[in-house]
C-alpha cells in the first residue's frame, strides 16, 4: 500500500499559462528567428531564449532588437515578425501531458482558465489547432486585456475573478519565472514546469517544481487524480527513433555495469526538445539480432552533469559483444519517471536496476507488447 501524499492545499480551479506550458512555442520562435535574423546578417544562437521566456511580445522584441543591435524599431520588428510567427501557429505541438491534463480536468468538471501574456487573438489562433481546447476553458485572458502583463499578478487576479473564485483556491501552472512571480503575487498556489533545462533553482518561489506535465500529481492539490498509470508506467503515444549505435561516454558498462546502446542526437533535436528528460520504456530492434525490451533515459544525467541532452537506451538482454555501428530502432511507448540527481553512484545504479524491472514487467502487458510486432522494428 502506498502512503498517501499529504495534501498541499485544497484548490477548486486551475489557471494555465499557454506558451511553454501547454504548447511548444519555443521551437517555433527559434525557427522563425533563425530565418528572420539572416536578413540582418545575424545568427540566432538561442542564448536569448532564457531572457524572453514569459515576457510579453513587445518585451521579447525589445530584448532581441537590443541584444542583436538590429537597425530597426521594436514596433517595426514586431510588425514584420508576427505575420511570420502566425503562419507557423498551425505547427506548434502540444507539450507531452497537455492534452491529457485538459481532458482530465474537463471530464471531472474542474473549472479552467487560460491566462497568457500573448494577445487574445494570438491565443485563440494557437488553441484553434488543438481539438477540444477552446471549449474546455471557461475563461481566456490575453496580455492585451490587462494593464500589466506577468510578472504583474493582474492577469491571474482577473482570471480568478472571472472564474468566481478566490485566488487562494486556484492552482496556477506556469513554465516561466515571470509567470510564477505573477501567480504568487496574486495569492494562488503555483506549480512550475520550467521550460528551460537546468534552471530549476530559479523557481524557488513556486509551491512545487516538476519536470513536465507528465509528473503532475493532482491529488496533492485536492483535485481528482489521474487513473492512467499502469504497472508503474504511463502509456504514451509511441515515439519512433533510430540510427547506428555510437560510442557513448564509456560509463554505461564501465562505471554503472549497465551497458547502454547510445544513439547520436543529430537530426533529433526537435524530438529531444519535445520529450521531457526522464526514463521511458519501449522496444528496441537491432538489424542483425532481433527485438528486445528496453528502458531508456533521455536527458542530462544530473549525476554526470552532461552538457547536452542524450538518448541512452538499455537493452534488457545479455549480449556477448559490442554492436557499435549497427542500426538500432526504438519505439518508446511509456514513461516511468522524471530525471533526477542521486547522492551516490550506488543509489543511481539501484534506481536504474529498478527501472529495468518496471520495464520488464510492464512490456509484457498487451497494451505495450503489441508494439513489438510493428513494421518499424522489423524493417531494420
Active site residues: 17, 19, 312
Residue 34: φ, ψ to 5°: -55, -50
Q: How far apart are CA 314 and CA 293, in angstroms?
A: 9
Q: How far apart are CA 283 and CA 360, in angstroms?
A: 11
β-pair type (13-16, 170-174): parallel
Give buried/exposed letters for 95-113 (b at 16+ CB in 10 A, else e): bbbbbbbbebbbeeebbbb
Q: How far apart are CA 215 and CA 219, in angstroms?
A: 12
Secondary structure of the chain: what % helix, strand, coil (to 5)?
A: 35, 20, 40
Q: How many CB atoms lie within 10 A of CB 38?
A: 11
What residues are paired with 141 via a beta bridge? 115
Question: Strand, coil or helix: what is 279?
Answer: strand
Amino acid at each position: 500500500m502506498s502512503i498517501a501524499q499529504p495534501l498541499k492545499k485544497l484548490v477548486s480551479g486551475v489557471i494555465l499559462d499557454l506558451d511553454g506550458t501547454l504548447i511548444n512555442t519555443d521551437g517555433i520562435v527559434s525557427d522563425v528567428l533563425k530565418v528572420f535574423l539572416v536578413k540582418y546578417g545575424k545568427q540566432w544562437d538561442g542564448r536569448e531564449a532564457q531572457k524572453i521566456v514569459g515576457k510579453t511580445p513587445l518585451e521579447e522584441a525589445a530584448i532581441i532588437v537590443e541584444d542583436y543591435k538590429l537597425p530597426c524599431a521594436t514596433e517595426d520588428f514586431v510588425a514584420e515578425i508576427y505575420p511570420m510567427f502566425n503562419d507557423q501557429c498551425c505547427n506548434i505541438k502540444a507539450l507531452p501531458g497537455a492534452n491529457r491534463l485538459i481532458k482530465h480536468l474537463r471530464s471531472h468538471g474542474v473549472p479552467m482558465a487560460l491566462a497568457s501574456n500573448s494577445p487574445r487573438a494570438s491565443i485563440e489562433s494557437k488553441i484553434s489547432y488543438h481539438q477540444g481546447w477552446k471549449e474546455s476553458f471557461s475563461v481566456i485572458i490575453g496580455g492585451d486585456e490587462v494593464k500589466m502583463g506577468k510578472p504583474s499578478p493582474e492577469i491571474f487576479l482577473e482570471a480568478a475573478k472571472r472564474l468566481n473564485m478566490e485566488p487562494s483556491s486556484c492552482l496556477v501552472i506556469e513554465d516561466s519565472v515571470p509567470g510564477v512571480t505573477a501567480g504568487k503575487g496574486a495569492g494562488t498556489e503555483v506549480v512550475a514546469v520550467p521550460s528551460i533545462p537546468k534552471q530549476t533553482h530559479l523557481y524557488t518561489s513556486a509551491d512545487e517544481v516538476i519536470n513536465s506535465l507528465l509528473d503532475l500529481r493532482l491529488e496533492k492539490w485536492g483535485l481528482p487524480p489521474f487513473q492512467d498509470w499502469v504497472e508503474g508506467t504511463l502509456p504514451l503515444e509511441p515515439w519512433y527513433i533510430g540510427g547506428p549505435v555510437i560510442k557513448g561516454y564509456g560509463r554505461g558498462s564501465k562505471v554503472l555495469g549497465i551497458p547502454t546502446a547510445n544513439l547520436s542526437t543529430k537530426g533529433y533535436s526537435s524530438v529531444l526538445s519535445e520529450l521531457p528528460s526522464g526514463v521511458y520504456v519501449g522496444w528496441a530492434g537491432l538489424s542483425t539480432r532481433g527485438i528486445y525490451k528496453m528502458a531508456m533515459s533521455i536527458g542530462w544525467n544530473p549525476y554526470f552533469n552532461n552538457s547536452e541532452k542524450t538518448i541512452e537506451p538499455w537493452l534488457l538482454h545479455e549480449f556477448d559483444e559490442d554492436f557499435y555501428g549497427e542500426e538500432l530502432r526504438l519505439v518508446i511507448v511509456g514513461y516511468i519517471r522524471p530525471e533526477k540527481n542521486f547522492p551516490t553512484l550506488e543509489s543511481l545504479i539501484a534506481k536504474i536496476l529498478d527501472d529495468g524491472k518496471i520495464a520488464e514487467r510492464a512490456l509484457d502487458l498487451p497494451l505495450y507488447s503489441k508494439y513489438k510486432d510493428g513494421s518499424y522494428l522489423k524493417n531494420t
